[in-house]
Structure 1
Amino acid sequence: MRLTFIGKDPDSNPGGSPTVYRTDRGSWIVQGWIVTDPEALALMDIPAGETSVEIPDRMIQFFGLGDR
């Protein structure tokens, strides 16, 4: 898989999250904060081998940039 960096949260610390990448497989990879809230996790049906991450609204600006 090849990754193309799309954007990093401008309000994050220099080594932190979140970050958005575009793959060469027509998909996205989002680096974010691990969701650990038990109530939120109970509402999701997350299969083995998957997880969920949280990103702030300000990251939405980067979606679609990989299709230029």
Structure 2
Amino acid sequence: MIAGGPCRSDDDDKCGNGDCPTVYATPEPGVLAIQGYDVTHPTPDGESVVLIPEEILKEAARARRWL
């Protein structure tokens, strides 16, 4: 896990379910796995589009030292 995940407190629970969107590292270089909410958008088989808060991506970028 790079960023996101279980909320630290009720004040931190922006998603309202105790488990926020999460960015995960994968064994494949340059590839991140993203947990988020499904949206209605046509995609090819095996793909999906997820919504995650901008702050989670920024946290992941800082963790990867991209920022």
- Structure 1: stretches of 5+ with no match in the other structure: none
Please give the TM-score of this superposition, normalised by the length of structure 1: 0.62
Deviation (angstroms), 1:53: 0.5
Kindly indicate whether residue 47 of structure 2 is the aligned counterpart of residue 50 of structure 1. yes
Deviation (angstroms), 1:63: 2.6
% identity of equivalent residues: 30
How many residues are aligned here?
56
Contact 1:8 1:18 in 2 (8 A): yes
Deviation (angstroms), 1:61: 1.8
Equivalent position of 1:35 in the other structure: 39
The amino acid that maps onto 1:33 is Y
- Structure 2: stretches of 5+ with no match in the other structure: 6-11
Contact 1:35 1:54 in 2 (8 A): yes
Q: Secondary structure at the match of 2:34?
A: strand
Q: Secondary structure at the match of 1:61?
A: helix
Please give the TM-score of this superposition, normalised by the length of structure 2: 0.63
Structure 1's consecutive aligned runs of 4 or more residues displaced over 6 angstroms after TM superposition are none
Q: Secondary structure at the match of 2:2?
A: strand
